[in-house]
Structures are given as C-alpha cells and as structure tokens.
Amino acid sequence: MADLHIQISRDKGGIAGQIASELRDAVRGGRLAPGTRLPATRDLAGDLQVSRGVVVEAYEQLVAEGFLVSRVGAGTRVTPVPPARVAPRRRAAAQERPTPVRPTSDTPACAPYYGHRPTSPDLSHFPRERWLAAVRHVLATVPSDALDYGDPGGVPELREELAGYLRRVRAADARPENLIIVGGVAQGLSLVLHVLSQRRALRLAVEDPTSHRQVPLLRRAGAHLVPVPVDEDGLDVRRLSGDAVLVTPAHQFPTGVVLSPSRRAALMEWVHVGGRVILEDDYDAEFRFDRDPVGCLQGLAPDRVILSGSVSKALAPGLRLGWVAAPPDLAEDVRRARGELDLGSPVIEQYALAHFLRTGGYDKHLRRMRREYRRRRDALVRALACELPAISVKGIDAGLHVYLELPDGWDEPRTARVARELGLSAEPVGPMRQSPGKPAVVVGFARLPGHKAAEAVQGLKVRMSGHVTD
C-alpha cells in the first residue's frame, strides 16, 4: 500500500480536483509505479482530513482517465500500463456511454508466418464497438451456470442463430442439431477427417492448387491426399478419385474460379456412389461482388456433404470461431471428438456471436465490408489493367484475394517479395501446387485502400521491369 505525500491547499477549493492532480502527477512522474495499490479512500480522507466522498471523487476521476483501476475486493491501483497511452476523458462523459474502443499501438507483434495472409480481412474495420456491446450484453444477461463446461458442440443459442443464418445466406440445410461450433474451418476439417479416417482408411481428393497451409492438418488427421487438377471451371470432376473430396466450390482457393454448374451437377452424381462424401470449405462465400453467391453444395445433399465455414473473413481470424454442418451421425461423432479433444470453444464469444447475428450486426457488417472490398478489388484490377496488362487476373469478382498469372520471365518468389515490399499481401502459388502451372501469385486486396492501388501497381511495374528471374 503506497504511503502518499499529497499537498492540498484548502484556500483554493476544488479539493477533489487537487487530489486528482497530485495523484496524476505522481503517476506520470513515476513516483507511483504501475500496479501500486493506493490507500483506501477512508484512510486517505483521514490523512488529509477531508470527507471520504472527496477522495472517492478524485479516484473515480483518475479511473475514468485511465490512470487508476479499481476492482471490488482488490482496491484501487495504478494502471499497470504506461499512462501516457491512455487518453484523458471526462468522467461524466465516461459514465454516459461505453468507453470508445480504439486500437492501441501496444498490440503484440506476430511472427510473419502467423500474421497477415492474402485472404485475411481488413482488421482495422473489425466492428469493435458493436462486438463490445455484444460482449457487454452477454455478461450482463447470461446466467452464471452458462459459463460452466458446456456442450462441446457449441452453445444452443449460437447453433440456433447460425442455422437460420446459413439457411438464409448459404441455402444450407442447417439445423441446430447438425451444427457443431468449432475453432475455424481448420479445426472443423481436422475433426471431421479424424472421425472419417477412424471409420475407414481415407483417400481424400484435394484441389490442385490448394491451400498449402491446410495440407499438414489434413495429413495429420489421417487422410491420404490425392491431388485433382483445377481449371477455369473449378475442380475437374472427371479426374476425381478417392472416397472423399475437399473442395472450395464458391470461390476456389487459390485460383478464384467458381465451380461451374455442369461440374456441380457432375460432383453431385459422383458423391452419390458408394459411401463418398464432400467436404465443402465455404471460407469466403459471403464476399461475392457481382451477384448473389451460389448456394452451398451441402444444401443439395446434406446427407453427403459436410460444410465448414467461419467468421475468419467476415470478422477476424483471431476469434477462432467457425462451424461444421454434418449429417446427424457424423455431427454426433464430431461433437464427441471435440469433447475429447478440448471440451469445446469459449462460451462468451459464442454467446456474443449469437447476439451479433440475432441483432443484425453481422449482416450489417458484411454489407458494409462487401461494398468496401468491392471498391478495393475494382481499384486493384483497374490499376493492373492500366499499368501491367501482361498480368492476367483470374477468377470471379469475389473474396479478398486475386490470382495473378504472371508475364513471361516473371519469377513467382521475386514478384511476391517485391509486392510485399510495396505493402501488398502476396504469396507465390508454387507451394500450393502439386503439378507445374503458369507462374502466378496470390495478392490480397482487403487492406489495400483504393487510392493506394495505382501507386502499388506502378511500384511493382518499376521494380519488376527487366523481368529479373531469381
């Protein structure tokens, strides 16, 4: 407990303000170190011979300004972060409305591998205020028992809301009882494959090219992978082999093409032979800019197709919230597997997402971001057409990335490196391929404001001129 030396002048009045000012200076000057516990208000009032209410007022002011933190049972302490980062604000205003949520610069830096990807959304647009409101609502309303170990398949409220959302937006055959809440598509696929490969040896067809980051988790889950080529119509269904296929029909990753209607029909025929199944990765289907997204395959054959999706593109990958819609027997096994693995996903976030969906926040955010991403994609594609017409932009008007086939002599790793140096999020396609293909890179546009696109593309043109090959 700090023994404080505080000087007040009784002639001046505004005693609470004077105490606050003395304490503020002591924190700023380092006399009161972060985390230091302050005297109880009654004790300090006694020392200074003022009423306790005056000290309470001073403490409250500094709590509102961010210099102090106060917790029931733990007393009042100096905030454990450097106070200079905390913007002062008026106490009255702070009481009227929730604290404005602003990103701070003290976010821990991520190792590059785990950081931003070409398919990551613009996280500066994360709806902090509305998400905070949802979390506040949850904490103010859920009974304490709801915070206990819950159903490893997810909280019923979220499964209910998601089922409605997926039926409405993705034409899925989703019901609360066939949905399992998971920590993203990655975990959903792991669990499903783990269960399937326990039932029988699993030969899993995967698109070529495909997300190279998924490959280790597919293998780890016990699947033997069989690459199948992708062309402008999506997965070449005639060349499919295996008992199961992992496919991104709404927006193939990485090529950006959509599975054509005839291939969809052929895939539906394929899956109805024997005990075959389709694993449908619906990772960015909400972002289609030229028309409504095509409905998911799962809605056409819910007994054969397992749908995985997440909020990683719509909200933030760091939330690690996603879902699996599976036939009832498989859903039950996946739920059990999740329970055995780690007992389920964090419940406060699940309730918050349920609230966000129920109150329309999710739809509203998606509408806003769809408009924004469309503008950004258009700007990038326009700049490429103007400055680098030899680059061919593949795929449909959708998602958060473009697939760029490179001009003769351009080297994938170098192009991706130069693009990254110019602030673009870019990756070579080589590691995503099993068989050779035209050199290409994947470039994310979610974080590239429209007015910066021309400058970035011009930079790429200048830096790549001469077609240097590594």
Ligand X SMILES: Cc1ncc(COP(=O)(O)O)c(C=O)c1O
Closest CB 251 distance from ligand X, rounded Å: 9
Exactly one of 131, 165, 270, 283 binds ligand X (CB under 6 A); which one?
283
Exactly one of 165, 253, 351, 356 binds ligand X (CB under 6 A); which one?
253
Structure-block tokens of residue 270: 């394929």
Closest CB 152 distance from ligand X, rounded Å: 18
Phi and psi at residue 73, to the nearest 5°:
85, -20
Q: Does 27 bind ligand X (CB under 6 A)?
A: no
Closest CB 377 distance from ligand X, rounded Å: 17
Q: Long-range contact list for 71-75, CB < 8 A, 24+ apart?
A: 75/37, 75/38, 75/40
SS in 3 state form for 241-289?
CCCEEEECCCCCCCCCCCCCHHHHHHHHHHHCCCCCEEEEECCCCCCEC
DSSP state of 324: E
Closest CB 310 distance from ligand X, rounded Å: 3
Q: Does 184 bind ligand X (CB under 6 A)?
A: yes
Exactly one of 61, 255, 312, 350 binds ligand X (CB under 6 A); which one?
312
Closest CB 327 distance from ligand X, rounded Å: 21
Which sign, positive or negative, has the C-alpha torsion 205, 209, 212, 214?
A: negative
Exactly one of 121, 209, 256, 322 binds ligand X (CB under 6 A); which one?
322
Q: Count the alpha carbons within 13 Å of 415 in the hemisphere toward its beta carbon.
A: 26
Residues 99-118 interacting with ligand X (rule: CB under 6 A) = 117
Exactly one of 36, 61, 190, 211 binds ligand X (CB under 6 A); which one?
211
Q: Does 248 bind ligand X (CB under 6 A)?
A: yes
Q: Does 234 bind ligand X (CB under 6 A)?
A: no
Q: Which is nearer to ligand X, 134 or 250 (CB)?
A: 250
Burial of 146 (0-12, 13-18, 19+ CB in 10 A): middle
Q: Does 425 bind ligand X (CB under 6 A)?
A: no
Q: Which residues of 406-440 are buried (b: 16+ CB within 10 A; e: fewer)?
A: beeebbbebbbbbbbebebbbbbbbebbbeebebb
The answer to whether 39 and 70 are in contact (CB under 8 A) is no
Closest CB 218 distance from ligand X, rounded Å: 11
Q: Does 119 bind ligand X (CB under 6 A)?
A: yes
The answer to whether 428 and 416 are in contact (CB under 8 A) is yes
Q: What does DSSP say about strands 68-71 and 75-78: parallel, antiparallel, or unpaired?
A: antiparallel
Q: How many residues bind ligand X (CB under 6 A)?
A: 14
Q: Does 281 bind ligand X (CB under 6 A)?
A: yes
- H/E stretch holding 231 reads strand 223-231
Q: Which is nearer to ligand X, 38 or 285 (CB)?
A: 285
Structure-block tokens of residue 41: 């208000």
Closest CB 400 distance from ligand X, rounded Å: 9
Among 80-88, 147-155, 183-191, 299-307, which window interacts with ligand X (CB under 6 A)?
183-191
Closest CB 47 distance from ligand X, rounded Å: 55
